[in-house]
Structure 1
């Protein structure tokens, strides 16, 4: 068991949504937790070593987040194994992980469903902005940021609980 609390964001190519989410959450947690909470991202597609899209970089920069050094990674058993929580952008990503890595199903959540009382609600996917203009990327990063702000207290609580064990 890791002595850190780890969150993994997953989207399709690991070029837009998950790198933006990773950067936003790192910014919001670093002051309080430093490197005791680690955040990473990966994609369900086999796109490795690619930078975030220019519009993802621009939208993140407008939020005070630098993702210029991001290099895309594919989801793997290794990055799922070290993750306490896996937050995905769409129901498709959730199904992909549950089909290919069923042993991690308990820790996989659609970002919009995580920490909701009513599990029967219809939760919306975070749309893929790939190929769209900067205005659409702004809409997507704003949706991601709203979700991160909504779940932040729960993430902090889970992080503190795990870190107290060590």
Structure 2
């Protein structure tokens, strides 16, 4: 186990009940086992809602994909969370704008998930909020997040490896 400071990744959406918790759970599943002890993954919402469980359809869809959201409880974005995060991946432009406006000293750590480590500009850069829709929309949202995590994984691995060297 690495005794150095972990590399901290924070996913951000609005309520922290659908998109960002799904991203958190899916990254935990997808992160190479050799890096599991070196990365701390959290999620939070810009609306500041604390203590709510993940949406039922989010729990179901992530469960079908092999993850677990049963223990998730929402939390709002806080100055401490932002300050300790090495990488902040937002689900939509509104979240990027919120974070960069409220925490300007950390703007270099804030990215839109679909634009992070992406030379191509996506046609639709936002991952739409599935709240209020049926399970099929949650599945589509989770699939998009999973595809994006697969796409950015090499960049995340490289950041973690660089962080390891810097903190050694």
Q: TM-score, normalised by structure 2?
A: 0.93
Q: 2:155 maps to what in 1?
A: 154
> Unaligned stretches of 5+ in structure 1?
none
Q: Tell me what 2:112 maps to.
A: 110
Partner of 1:144: 145
How far the C-alpha of 1:30 sits from its partner, in A, is 5.4
Q: Deviations over 1:59-102 (max 9, x none)?
A: 10011000100010000110011111100000000000111111
Retained in 2: the 8 A contact 1:5–1:159? yes
Q: Structure 2: which 5+ residue stretches go unaligned?
A: none
2:31 match: secondary structure:
helix
1:29 positional shift: 1.4
Query: CA 1:67 to 1:30, structure 2 compared with 1: closer, same or farther past 3 Å?
Result: farther
Residues 9 and 87 in structure 1, CA contact (< 8 A), matched pair in contact too: yes
Matching residue of 1:51: 53
Q: Mark the CA change 1:60 to 1:104 in structure 2 (over 3 Å): closer, same or farther.
A: same
1:113–1:123 Cα contact (<8 Å) kept: no
Q: Number of matched residues?
A: 164
Q: Is residue 2:15 matched to residue 1:21?
A: no
CA RMSD for the aligned pairs? 1.3
TM-score (norm 1): 0.94
Shift of 1:27: 1.1
